[in-house]
Structure 1
Amino acid sequence: MINRYRRTSLILVSSLIALLIGNNMIYYFISKNTLEEKTLNDINNESIVLNKILENSREGARFVEALVGEKLRSDSIAIQSQIDPDINHVTNEQLDALSEKLNIKAITLLTKTKDASFHLTKSSHREEINLDTKRWGLWNKAFLELYDRKNVTALNWGQSLPNYWTGPFSISDTNAEEFYKYGYYYDGTTNYLINPFVSDKVFKDYDKLIGINSIIHDVTSSNRSVIEVSGINPATFGKEQIEVENGTGQKYTLRYYIPIFFGSYEYKNEKLDSEYIQKAIDTKELVSYKAELNGKTVLKAFIPVFTNKIDELGVITENSEKELDKTLNYYVMAITIDYQAIQSQLNQILWELLLVVIVITVICIILLVMLNKFISKTKDQAVTETQSAYIDEMNSLFTSIRGQRHDFLNHISTISALVELDKIKELKEYTGELVEDVLKINDIISIGQPAIAALVQSKSVSAEVKDIQFTFSFTTLKEFPEGVRSVDCVRAIGNLVDNAFDEVMKLPKEERIVKLIGEIESGILKLSVYNKGTIHDAIIEKIFEAGISSKNAQEHSGLGLAITLDIVRKYKGSIRIDNSDGVTFVIEIPINQYAKAIYSA
């Protein structure tokens, strides 16, 4: 029995630990998903803020560029005032001196040709002399409009001021590695366009201090989990790079065609990135994936950004002119997160959960051990009380027998006296009572098991005191079967009879009836205890559970029937309740050689 409770406790503890681990694993994965979603939500919010900062940076860059453009117009007016209006009377050396004086890169003078283009006739930048604008596309159109109308108004592109127009910073037509800001001035008083230009140093200085790449550097420095930010051009990303040629035959890629507008692109998987870039554009929502890139586990998010037209910073040629209307008004911002930052938080959560599991498991084990000890102690106490009652009942039976023997002479003397006095009526009454008492003792003694006989004797005395009509019958049980321990029978019968006595004590005296029957039928030891009364069906369903009792909880532990059930099961027997006419508990135990008890203490 003790081993069974140990097994039950072990199963209970194991089940509890498994339940805790399963519950915590579910919580871990929920936390993982929640943390990833929170990270992506934070990225989305940060991308909105970052894009706003980038827009402001671009606006600042445009403002700086506009200031440079206005300075070039002022320089153009100054140049016009210093040279002859006829280009034939202007020398390259004059332009050299003016460039140095005005602190600009160079000055070029353009004259109109018969084929509606312009010829670079004079320049302080000698490599530009003799170049032609025939293939310069929109730039050439701007020159024609400036030359014919004195003001560029048809093109919503570049910067237009009175008698002046300038395009964006552009690649030099003589050196593809150099960027310049070109200004063009013509007020009709000269036979040439004045073209001063400066390098992009001012723009680079601005970008270095507060430009896009500077902002990205600040973001990645302040947030260590963000390891890369990329501004991706969805029109050309993952496609073959488009190149054009400048006036000297050098090949380069227009700014519009570069796949990465800003930032870096080191953590890459071009095939997967292309798929998610397109998905971000189609859904107009943030999308992401987790992968191993550059030896790191990263979470890469793609956010579609819709903005003003992305400025073209390259020379617009005839081949690219038609692309201007297709200039994108959106791009995709890719933010790469070091997943180790998320994993570190998850590891912390996992350790916390593990600590919780350990603490709760230890507490549960302690409680179960204490409960097991309490149940064992209670059961041991019940066994001790049963054994004590068993001994007391045996002593009571022997005392009754010795008392009968001791009183025998007194009974004979009394009978003799009644005979001599001729008290026949009194004699009959006295001998009747004496015979009834002797027969009752003989019926008890005739039970095939002394321990049960002692128990019956004890319960008979108790019933007499409580005004309970207690009857018993062991007619077919003259010799008690082997293999069934008497102490187990005493415990089982005693618990059932005690319960019956307790139940009938709730009834009037005339209804306090309890019957005990023991018999053997077809190799089955059958013990039944009947009492007047009923038991509610709700109680019957769990009446054999430890701690369940229909009586006062302060006086009864509720273990009697649980102990009885353990005893019956130990002998591979059964116990049932008949609640149809009164209450009858029926125990059936097989007594053949295969069903003998295996008792374990």
Structure 2
Amino acid sequence: MRRNVWLIAISSIVLLVIVNNVVFFYITRLMLQQELEKELVSLGEQIKSAAEQKRIGQELFEEQISRELRAAAIAAKYALDGDVERITSDQLVALAKELGIAHITLLKKLEDNDIVLYQSSDPNQINKSTASWNPWHRIFHELFSGTVVQEKWLGTSLPNFWSGPYEVSSTDYTSIYKWGYFYDGSTNYMIDPYVDYTRVDRYNEATGLNRLFEDLIESNPSLLELSIVNPRTFPNDKITIEEDGSERKHIVQRPVLYGNYSYKSKHDVTDVRNAFYSEERNIRIERMDQAHTYKMFIPVIVEDERLAMVDEKGQPMDGYVLIITANYDYILQSLGDSVIRVGLITILIMAIMVPVVILVMNYFKNLREEAVKVAQDTYIEEINALFQSIRSQRHDFINQVQTIHSLVKLKQYEEVEKFTAAIAGEIHMINDYINIGNPAVAALIRSKLSQAEAYHIHFKHDVKAVKLTALAGQALDINRILGNLIDNAFDEVLKYPEELRTVSLYGREANNSLHIKISNYCANAKEQVDMPLFKSGFSTKIGDHHGLGLSIISSIVKQYKGEIQMQAVDETTITFEVKIPLKVS
């Protein structure tokens, strides 16, 4: 016997050690992962703030370039003749060189309302129509008419002047320019000076977002990559097919605005869209060919600042997504160090647990005989209580028969009817419970009957043989359907007087399917049929209602490949029918 005690003690110690190691390992990994997530969230917020500052700084820098373009346009106005017909390309070439800009183009409004690039220092620009340049073409008309341009989200608006963002040239797809457009009515043409991307490129290399991202990655070995992406055009470039069949990319629609995107996953598009539309962070851990990555997708919504970015249809965007890609192997390395510490802690725990387990085993050995005695006494008491219950039931039965006999003998037939009705009601309740077939469904219906009685609702049910054998593991979902259907019917009839509060429920298993139908009084039944009652959040009730009941029913029914129908039987009766196929082995 002593040998068995020691065997149990040693086995218990080994089991405790194994459990301790496993629990400690998973807790440590979870804590490290949470710590990394907190670190990345904090870093993400810092990067988000810094990125916004850099982006706004770049916008202000580009705004200053726009002001310089306006100054160049005004200088060109005084240097050129007021009639475009008396201006030559050579004049524009010399003037552009003198002003230190890439080119100058003059736009003229024709009689057919088209606006063309009429004269230019760049010969490729001459006689090119702007009719397909939206929203540029509309803005040109606004400038010609003297209207103040309101397209601030896409550029800079100044008196008699508007400048768009940097964009790919329509005549040279390898060049990126920033154009300015000036017209004050003193000439019969619009002046369009523009500059290349050199200054902004140097700005980005020195103090821009790309420089920021490079510095962060260099100073933090756990970071692999930082990216700012356009959630509507990501991951592919937006390409426009021009009239001559050539392909043209658009800067304002580029998928990756800043940083790099080389750690690619098939889930990235979904994660970017989810983060942007939900305005909540997304996190995904994934092993790729390049590395074991920990990606965080942070949405950034820009409300007050203009954003030189548009969606795939050319509409302005109000935000972007910041992607932080970290190396998840750092967690695994930390876990490796933790395992060594776990081993040392385990040895200490074993040294403490051995004597503790021995003491505990001795204690339980002393209590075993007492526990056996208590169990025997309890068993005897339960047997005696069982016999007492049987005798009590037999005694009650005799009393009931004697009462009926006495009432008949006294010819108190009404009292006999009342007394037997009460007994029959109890028997009917038991039979009703058995006929329903499923204990959980029966219990739900019984509770709803009590609720209906309290609310003065006339609730009839005809539910039989609903055993749910084929859906045994999903009986809870069936009860959710029933409960929500009944609650929805109760909520509707409670709007009306007591005499109109009628609800009827039908349920059967037949032809390998479960059929549930509930009908209730509804004053505007045909109107409700046309309402989106199954839409989450929609409710016809007044007060604190969330409109989730019918939406929950619909989702569960779809989960089981069933169908739900709603129809108005007449002007004042609405019916919901649910059919769910049963799994037959």
User: Which residues of 2 match residues 72-471 of structure 1 at below 5 A?
Assistant: 72-149=69-146, 151-153=148-150, 157-237=154-234, 242-246=238-242, 249-270=245-266, 272-281=267-276, 283-308=278-303, 311-312=307-308, 323-324=313-314, 326-361=315-350
Deviation string 1:268-307 (CA, Å, 9 cap, x unpaired) is 222x223333443454332222221124222222222222
Instruction: Give, in angstroms, the shift of residue 328 of structure 1.
Output: 2.8
Counterpart of 1:22 (choices 19, 22, 28) is 19
User: Which residues of 2 match residues 487-502 of structure 1 at below 5 A?
Assistant: none
- Change in Cα spacing, 1:283 to 1:20, as seen in structure 2 (3 Å) is farther
CA distance in 1, matches of 2:187, 2:367: 114
> Structure 1: which 5+ runs fail to align?
372-537, 545-601
CA distance in 2, matches of 1:97, 1:364: 93
CA distance in 2, matches of 1:164, 1:542: 96
TM-score by length of 1: 0.55
CA distance in 2, matches of 1:48, 1:540: 60
Q: Which residue of 1 aligns with 2:375?
A: none
- Change in Cα spacing, 1:157 to 1:258, as seen in structure 2 (3 Å) is closer
Equivalent residues of 1:245, 1:251 under 8 A apart: yes
- Change in Cα spacing, 1:156 to 1:37, as seen in structure 2 (3 Å) is closer
- Matched to 1:333, the amino acid is L
Q: Which 10-residue stretch deviates more, 85-94 or 242-251? A: 242-251
- Change in Cα spacing, 1:224 to 1:81, as seen in structure 2 (3 Å) is same
Instruction: Give, in angstroms, the shift of residue 204 of structure 1.
Output: 0.8
CA distance in 2, matches of 1:276, 1:539: 56
Q: Which residue of 2 aligns with 1:551?
A: none
Deviation string 1:345-371 (CA, Å, 9 cap, x unpaired) is 111111101122134446767x79x99
Equivalent residues of 1:220, 1:226 under 8 A apart: yes
Instruction: Give, in angstroms, the shift of residue 234 of structure 1.
Output: 2.6
User: Which residues of 2 match residues 50-89 of structure 1 at below 5 A?
Assistant: 50-89=47-86
User: What is the SS of the residue equivalent to 1:109?
Assistant: strand
CA RMSD across the alignment: 3.3
Equivalent residues of 1:237, 1:259 under 8 A apart: yes
User: What is the SS of the residue equivalent to 1:358?
Assistant: helix
Could you tell me the percent identity over the aligned residues? 30
- Aligned residue pairs total 367
- Matched to 2:261, the amino acid is Y
Equivalent residues of 2:154, 2:308 under 8 A apart: no
User: What is the SS of the residue equivalent to 2:179?
Assistant: strand
CA distance in 1, matches of 2:20, 2:138: 72
User: What is the SS of the residue equivalent to 2:92?
Assistant: helix
- Change in Cα spacing, 1:292 to 1:310, as seen in structure 2 (3 Å) is farther
CA distance in 2, matches of 1:90, 1:139: 24
CA distance in 2, matches of 1:224, 1:540: 58
User: What is the SS of the residue equivalent to 2:131?
Assistant: coil
Instruction: Give, in angstroms, the shift of residue 37 of structure 1.
Output: 1.9
Instruction: Give, in angstroms, the shift of residue 255 of structure 1.
Output: 3.6
Equivalent residues of 2:227, 2:261 under 8 A apart: yes
- Change in Cα spacing, 1:234 to 1:160, as seen in structure 2 (3 Å) is closer
CA distance in 2, matches of 1:219, 1:50: 9
Instruction: Give, in angstroms, the shift of residue 51 of structure 1.
Output: 1.2
- Matched to 1:169, the amino acid is Y
Instruction: Give, in angstroms, the shift of residue 57 of structure 1.
Output: 0.9
User: Which residues of 2 match residues 523-542 of structure 1 at below 5 A?
Assistant: 541=366
- Change in Cα spacing, 1:261 to 1:156, as seen in structure 2 (3 Å) is closer
Q: Which 10-residue stretch deviates more, 131-140 or 258-267? A: 258-267
From the CA coordinates, give the structure whose radius of gyration is larger: 1
Deviation string 1:171-196 (CA, Å, 9 cap, x unpaired) is 11111121111111122221111111
- Change in Cα spacing, 1:76 to 1:328, as seen in structure 2 (3 Å) is closer
Instruction: Give, in angstroms, the shift of residue 9 of structure 1.
Output: 4.6
Q: Which residue of 2 aligns with 1:465?
A: none
Equivalent residues of 1:96, 1:106 under 8 A apart: yes
Instruction: Give, in angstroms, the shift of residue 102 of structure 1.
Output: 1.3
- Matched to 1:299, the amino acid is Y
Deviation string 1:539-582 (CA, Å, 9 cap, x unpaired) is 995699xxxxxxxxxxxxxxxxxxxxxxxxxxxxxxxxxxxxxx
CA distance in 2, matches of 1:327, 1:96: 35
User: What is the SS of the residue equivalent to 2:69?
Assistant: helix
User: What is the SS of the residue equivalent to 2:128?
Assistant: coil
> Structure 2: which 5+ runs fail to align?
370-585
Instruction: Give, in angstroms, the shift of residue 215 of structure 1.
Output: 1.5
- Change in Cα spacing, 1:256 to 1:68, as seen in structure 2 (3 Å) is closer
CA distance in 2, matches of 1:87, 1:205: 35
- Matched to 1:76, the amino acid is A
Equivalent residues of 2:105, 2:119 under 8 A apart: yes
Q: Which residue of 1 aligns with 2:46?
A: 49
Equivalent residues of 1:175, 1:250 under 8 A apart: no
- Change in Cα spacing, 1:263 to 1:116, as seen in structure 2 (3 Å) is same
Equivalent residues of 1:106, 1:123 under 8 A apart: yes
Q: Which residue of 1 aligns with 2:562?
A: none
Instruction: Give, in angstroms, the shift of residue 158 of structure 1.
Output: 2.2
Equivalent residues of 1:232, 1:331 under 8 A apart: yes
CA distance in 2, matches of 1:254, 1:543: 83
User: What is the SS of the residue equivalent to 1:274?
Assistant: helix
Equivalent residues of 2:182, 2:191 under 8 A apart: yes
Instruction: Give, in angstroms, the shift of residue 34 of structure 1.
Output: 2.0
Equivalent residues of 2:109, 2:115 under 8 A apart: yes
User: What is the SS of the residue equivalent to 1:285?
Assistant: coil
Instruction: Give, in angstroms, the shift of residue 155 of structure 1.
Output: 7.0
- Change in Cα spacing, 1:275 to 1:75, as seen in structure 2 (3 Å) is closer
- Change in Cα spacing, 1:539 to 1:256, as seen in structure 2 (3 Å) is closer
Equivalent residues of 1:299, 1:337 under 8 A apart: yes
Instruction: Give, in angstroms, the shift of residue 61 of structure 1.
Output: 0.8
Q: Which 10-residue stretch deviates more, 251-260 or 219-228? A: 251-260
TM-score by length of 2: 0.57
